[in-house]
Every structure is written in C-alpha cells, then in structure tokens.
Amino acid sequence: MRPIVNSSKLVLVDGRLYSREVNSTMFDVGGFKAKTCGGVSRRSFLKLGTSVPFGLGMAGAASQLQAAEGQARSVILLWLWGAPSHIETFDPKPNSPLEYRGPFSPIPTRTPGVHFCELLPKLAARSDQFSLIRSMVSSNSGHPGAGTVGLTGYEENPPPVKPNFGSILAKDRGTGDLPPFFYIGRGIPRDLPRRISGYGGGTLGPAYDPFLVQCGADGKVNMPGIKLLEGLSPNRITDRRTLLANLDASRRQLDSAGAAAWSQTYQSAYRLITNPAAINAFDLTREAEPMRDMYGHTTFGQSCLLARRLVEAGTPYVQVNWSEYVESITPGADFGWDTHIYNFELLQDRHCPIFDRAFSALLDDLQERGLLDTTLVVAMGEFGRTPRINKRAARDHWPRCYFSAWAGGGVQPGRVIGESDKLAEDPITRKITPLMAGTTIAELAGVTTQRRAEMGVLNGGTVIDELL
C-alpha cells in the first residue's frame, strides 16, 4: 500500500499521537475529538487519514467473532445506488401502454410463469437460486433520504439517525481478525451536495461504522483508512507486544471519552496489516483469471469477488456499493442508476449487463464453494423509477414500487413475493418496507428479537415470512 498524502494526518511517533499540522490543537478523527501537539518523525509507522470517516475498531467488545445463531454466517448487500428501474429489470409490463413498457421484451425464467426483462438473461436462467420481492416501497423520494431509509429502515429526521443494518450485525458479533462491517466502494454513497446519513453506526456510535475498501476494475485494492509511510511494509511490523504497549501509552494522549474506541481501532489496524490471512483476503491476484473474468473486469464485478473473499474469511457483513454518486460527475467514474436521461441506453449497454454478470457469478461462486447456505445475499436500491416514461425518454424517481432480490442464508429460493399493478405503479399485495428488509436480514443472521430489543434497534420491524 503506497502512502497517500492528505492535508492533515494523525501519526504515531514512539507511542504518541501527533498532528502533521504544527500548532493544530484539535482533530475530528473517527467521530470524536483527539487532542494533539505538533511534530512528526520518520519513525512513525502508521497514520490514519482523517478525511475518511470510517473506524477500524468496529466493536466495543474485545470478544472474538461469535458464530451466528441463524443460518446466515455472513451477509452481502449489493447496494444499487441511484435506484434501478424495476420495469427494465425484474418486473416488466409487456401489456402496458407504450409510454410505460419501454423498448425491451420480457423473457421466461426458470421459475414457471415468471418473466424478467431481456436485459437480465443470466439471472433469468438462475431464478431458482434466489427469491424476488416486487412490492418494495419507500417513504422517501430523494436519494440521500431514501438511502438512509433503505439502509437503516427509518427516516433520518427527526434525529438521531438509526444504525445501518451492517452496524447492527457488527455490534452483535464482536471483533475478529477482520473488521465485522466493510464498505466496498469509492466512498459513502452520496448525491451532491450531501451523502447518506445512515451509512454507519448511528445511535450505536461510530465504533460500529464500516471500514472502507476500494476495489478497481483491475482488481487492485486500496484501504484509505490505513496509510503506511514511505519505505515501510506490513511485514516489517513484527513485535506485537511492543506495538500494543506503545498504543496503550498513546491512548493516554486522547480524550477519555474516546480512549476505548481508539484502543480497538489500533488493535484492529494492527491485525489487518499484519495477519497473513487478512492480507490474503484482499489479494485478488490469488484468484485464477477465469474466476476474475467470470465476475467481469468492472469495478462492481471485482468488488463482488472481493466480497466473496471477505465472507470466505469470516466477515459478518459486506456492503458492495455500485457507485459513490447517483450519477457520474467525473470522466471515468462509475455511473449510478439515477437514469433521468439515457435510461434505456445505459441499462442496455452498461448497467444491466454488468449487474447480470456479477450477481450471477456471485451466486454460482458461493454455491460451488458451499457458502451460499450460510451467506445471505441481498440486492436492492433506494427506490424504483417512474413507470411512465418522461419527456427525456427516461425514467425519474419512484418510491411507490420497486424490487429486492434475496438468496442464500435461510431464504427459500425460486419465490416471487408481492405483485405490482398492471402499470408497475403500486403494489396490489402487501407492501414490503426497508424496515422489514432490515429486520429479516438481522433475523436470518441470528440477531434475535430479544437481542434487537437489548440494542434498541429495528423497533417495530417485522420479518418477511414469505422469504423463509
């Protein structure tokens, strides 16, 4: 990992934490304030980039990772940021008027009587491996707000913001060799000018925020939360006892309110950069080229492959973000699913082929490795898109009806749950909410009703029994 230079850093020097900015007195690192003093040394070996709001010590307890009581040992959430069209994916309406149905045709699936859009042929051939919900609804029609609802089950207002589903599982499981909650993506999903509020620990605290990992289309992995200084590699850090003693000394330099969290942070950081099994989990070059090719040489495809490697290493929760922004704002950046324009062109030429290939590969790969029964995979966005095509020959925001796809981890495959009306505008069956989705994820991962009550999370949520 090469060093990344930011305008401000917290660095460790002989067991003490310092700021790179001389005369600076306060920094906001990992969600709490830490007092610092000026100075830097070449003997520093670890620095945390304060521009990345992700913690390394995910759980407040120092216990080892606990096995799940439910069937899902791990969860992978494929977060389709920007909101995919349900009509051009899993809920085509070929008999609706032209201004609704769009240019694509339905195709049969392996589930009798069920059709998907022709843009998802691989998933249509695997419909018996997952179940589909066609009656999802959201309470919010804006990307950041609906994103928070989609990832926490609740509106962000009135505050406080509730915890991400992954943070709930992180608190329940404790810590192991790897952080229990990973975000794979360029950054926190956002829609200019702001990001999703429900990305992390919320009311559980920043100790349960996710750890960010970036994975490129070439398979190269970057961890912006950990920076090594020039000329120092993880294999040169060998004396764990001395290291932890230094870290314990540095803890006294921090505010008492954050000392415990920092202890967990640095212990997790040490484990992450010195444990061979942990390092191997991020090394996609260990995968045979046919396997990498099966997922597709795209950011999303290789990120899904990394997610499989992380759950194989025992990580409880991995969220794979399709993109950081709902739309592309820079050349070469990932374009989200917010297709107010070029909806049909983007879905046909880019989005659906990438998603179809990567999701299918993930299902096959998990199945062949015997991991699908113990890994819950969920794919969804924050809402759907307008059934009626807009004046730009595309589709806008539509929270009243959308889809989610579920596989493994105790889910009964091959089912279609819920039904939309003839125009795909509204469900004509029971509405399924993000709170219900989060409650079901928690239940399948062994976070019981009693445990949820103890943590004060997912209050009022019910399980989607049709999936079980």
Dump pLDDT digits (tens) for 81-111: 999 999 999 999 999 999 999 999 999 999 9
Residue 86 identity (one-letter amino acid): H
- Residue 236, pLDDT > 80, answer no
Q: What local confidence, expressed as pLDDT, does residue 289 receive? A: 94
Q: How far apart are alpha carbons 323 and 328 in whole angstroms?
A: 9
CA nearest neighbour of 210 among 320, 299, 304, 306 = 320
Report the sign of the C-alpha dihedral through residues 86, 88, 92, 95, in that order: positive
Residue-level length of the chain: 468
- Residue 242, pLDDT > 90, answer no
Model confidence band, residue 36 (pLDDT cutoffs 50, 70, 90): very low
Q: What local confidence, expressed as pLDDT, does residue 224 receive? A: 78
Those residues whose C-beta lies under 8 Å from the C-beta of residue 408, and which sit 6 or more positions away, are 72, 130, 363, 366, 371, 372, 373, 374, 375, 376, 377
- Residue 59, pLDDT > 80, answer no
- Residue 176, pLDDT > 90, answer no
- Cα angle 367, 74, 440 (rounded to 5 degrees) comes to 100
- Residue 122, pLDDT > 80, answer yes
CA nearest neighbour of 177 among 82, 280, 252, 76 = 280
Mean pLDDT of the chain: 81
8 Å CB contact between 389 and 99: yes
Model confidence band, residue 245 (pLDDT cutoffs 50, 70, 90): low
Domain with CATH 3.40.720.10 in the chain: 53-223+282-467
Model confidence band, residue 193 (pLDDT cutoffs 50, 70, 90): confident
Domain covering 53-223+282-467: architecture:
3-Layer(aba) Sandwich (3.40)
Specify the higher pLDDT residue, 64 or 336: 336
8 Å CB contact between 377 and 396: no
Choose from 322-326, 339-343, 397-401 the range with maximum mean pLDDT. 397-401
Based on its alpha-carbon atoms, the radius of gyration of the chain, rounded to whole angstroms, reads 22
Mean pLDDT of 207-234: 76
pTM for the whole structure = 0.82
Q: How far apart are alpha carbons 235 and 194 in whole angstroms?
A: 39
Dump pLDDT digits (tens) for 448-463: 999 999 999 999 999 9
| Residue indicated by tokens 């994103």 | 147
Q: Do the bridges between strand 375-380 and strand 190-191 make them parallel or antiparallel, or are there none, so unpaired? A: unpaired
Those residues whose C-beta lies under 8 Å from the C-beta of residue 323, and which sit 6 or more positions away, are 81, 82, 185, 186, 189, 333, 334, 335, 336
